[in-house]
A and B are shown apart, each in its own frame.
Chain A
Amino acid sequence: MAATSHEQRRVGKPMPRWRKLLPNYLFLVPYFVFFLLFLAGPNVYGFYISLFNWDILLPNKPFLGFGNYQELWLDKLWWLSLRNTVLFAALTVGGNVLLGLFASVLVKQRPPGHQILRFLFYTPVVLSVAVMGVILARVFNTEFGLLNYYVDMVGLPTQKWLGEQRFVIPILSLSTVWWTFGFPFLVFLAGLLNIPEPIYEAARIDGVNRLQSFTHITLPLLKPVTLFIVVTQFIAHFKVFGQMWIMTLGGPGNSSYSVVMYLYDVGWRFFRMGYASSLAFGLAAIILVVTLINFRFLGGRVEY
């Protein structure tokens, strides 16, 4: 009798919810451990460090509370580097989105040689920042640069491209767009290929021209893809370092000095890890705000 009731329980009573879900969570454990150790942990510790005058090598590390953040608020160099960074990121993301979209639309039309175009558009992405920086520093060199060679050849006045404040961020941005637009191009292309063709056919039957079809069908349906690209590109380009380090060293006169260059200087050249951490959290806060703005304007639901 007892055995029967036990069996009834085994068969009849459903498995508790937690036991059902347990294997799922167990599969997550390895990632979660790495996340805690290498992402969340260092972030919490970084914030802790930002509350101290933390010279990496000195035994005495006085507690400052939010003193580093107060210093940040009053630091002219922080605001200058932030202005440079925002300008660079805005130009680069704008350029990448426009060029990536244009290139993907072009390739989707499958013109002659479209496979070669696809290859050419993506190839610069595989270069390291050092290679890209060295190549383009040569291109924009004042005396022996390729650009000034052609400018001179067509009879225009040569320029000190990287030596002038008005040119330096646009040139760095242009260089970065050439280097990185292959990624947005690829994602846009995937997004374009995902839009069902019958939608375009129906529009054509209704007399919609190509421009209308692009603005009223393609762009709205690409919104999720655009959001993904804009958010990831902003995050990537707010952290700009290598191009400026190699091509201009932040010059002329700090005109291309980025937040991450400043952070690197403060942390690793001046050993002020506490202040460098506060710079990092300041930048993270800005990135968070920009990301939320992007979600607000591009994050609408798309159904088709």
Chain B
Amino acid sequence: MNTVHGLSRRKFLLGSGGVVTLALAACVAPVPAGDTAQEAAAPAMPEALEVDLWHGLGGADGKTFTELVGQYMEENDHVTVNEELLTWDIFYQKVPSSVIAGNPPDMIITHEWAIGQWGPRRVLSAADDFYDSMGVPRDDFIPAVFENIHYEGSPLGVLLDTHGSGGYLNVALVEAAGLDPAAPPTNRTEFVEQMSLLTLDSQGRNPTDAGFDPEDIVQYAFHSHFWRRWAMLEGMWQNGGNTINEDGTQATIDSEEVTEALAFWHTMVHEHHLHAVPVGYSMTDSYQNNTLGLAIAGSWWRNFIQDSNLVDTTTFWRVPQYGLVEPVAWMSAHVMGIPTGTDEEGTMGASDLIVWLSNHGLDWARSGQPPARISLQNDQVLQDHWHTGNFGSQFQAIGRTEQQHANITEIQNAYQQEFEAVITNVKTVSEGIAEAQLRVQEVLDRDA
């Protein structure tokens, strides 16, 4: 009989097979905790918990969030929250990678607009339990925002805030131009008239003055921070247009509404000289240096305004209506969710932190982000605040979210690149519109 060091071949093969079987069994992908942990009876809270939290709150609002997490850990000394701050770009590639690898964090904070692409890709667990048994009220959120975080009938997380764009007005510059900060423009004509008084060349001339030198502008009237995204959306929405139709099957970029909006934007930059050519221009530098009249920026700018000692010279304006149909401001939200594959203990810790953060919306509002819950948004102290109360009221009145789609990032990228080419004079309006329409339609058709 053939033996291996005294072991029979049969025994050796049997033993090896057993070892391999065990090894393979150990390699089986873990069952997503989202399906099991939440269905099981709630186990007792362990004595010590660690919660791995990934987010991208690295802007001016980030320091408030870290303070808030510290406050949570002080109140719950058995919990350690391991915050990992990532840039949003890295965040959006690391989260899916971690889910595929079966090693996701216990909790993430993502954006409302991203739920459309997370949903079909099963990145986040359903979050019905928060509303059914953990006391988060379903009816205390702006309906359009809350609706947008649903996939197949279930919410995929809990809203942390409602954020978006709004106007930061340099009061001194506006008054110096002879305008009244308390009387914002209400239509396109008024908007162009008022803003024309805010743009100045080095000789102090406005674009409507004789001899104005567009190559020597030292002060612009306004600028939109994420202009590729919000400004373009707000422009087309204010005209009654959109990027895609309601069921997400047709690109609607070549509509009259969107074409007119883009053409008007081009005019504002190159004919009225109200807005700088956006590439290579720093809006924050300009606003800090008093060479920008109106900054359309995010609600998370509150800490930046405070830290730059600009509170006394800044007041809030709603996003001005320069479109032809109605005023609209872009809004979105941060969503707290539990990734698919998070283990039971992680889910338990994350759930507790999510509920705590949801209940502490007023504390989070210190960052400038209006709380997600309408009841907190309407809190009198918040309403009286020059910044956050106004942002909240604006979102309730004229806020609008982007339409969800499984490939929303690719759709955004397609039309934003083409629109930028128009605004920077690389393409004409009709070329940009035609190309954007084609590219977005290709994305829609691919997954039809």
Contacts and interface: CB of A to CB of B under 8 A. Distances in A.
29 contacts: A56-B97, A57-B121, A57-B122, A141-B282, A142-B276, A142-B277, A142-B280, A143-B276, A144-B282, A160-B277, A163-B278, A163-B280, A165-B426, A250-B417, A251-B420, A252-B279, A252-B421, A252-B424, A252-B425, A253-B417, A253-B421, A253-B422, A253-B423, A253-B426, A255-B426, A268-B93, A270-B413, A271-B121, A272-B410
Nearest to A252: B424
A250 B278 CA distance: 13
Contacts of B291: 143
Interface in A222-276: 248-255, 257, 265, 268-272
A271 B216 CA distance: 44
A157 interface: yes
> Chain B: interface secondary structure?
helix
Nearest to B283: A143
Interface of A: 55-58, 77, 137, 140-145, 157-158, 160-165, 248-255, 257, 265, 268-272
Interface string B119-161: 0111100000000000000000000000000000000000000
Given A137-B280, A160-B281, 18 more contacts: A57-B96, A57-B121, A57-B122, A57-B123, A77-B439, A140-B280, A143-B276, A145-B280, A157-B216, A162-B279, A250-B417, A251-B420, A253-B418, A269-B89, A269-B409, A269-B413, A270-B409, A271-B96
A143 B96 contact: no
Given A57-B121, A253-B422, A269-B92, A162 B413 contact: no
A250 B421 CA distance: 11
Interface of chain A: mostly helix, strand, loop or mixed: loop
B280, B418, B421 pick with most chain A CB within 10 angstroms? B280
B446 to A, nearest CB: 9
Nearest to A250: B417
Interface in B347-390: none
Closest 8 CB pairs of A and B: A253-B421, A253-B426, A252-B424, A162-B280, A57-B121, A163-B280, A163-B279, A268-B93
Contacts of B97: 56
Contacts of A77: 439
A57 B117 CA distance: 10
A164 B277 CA distance: 9
A251 B424 contact: yes
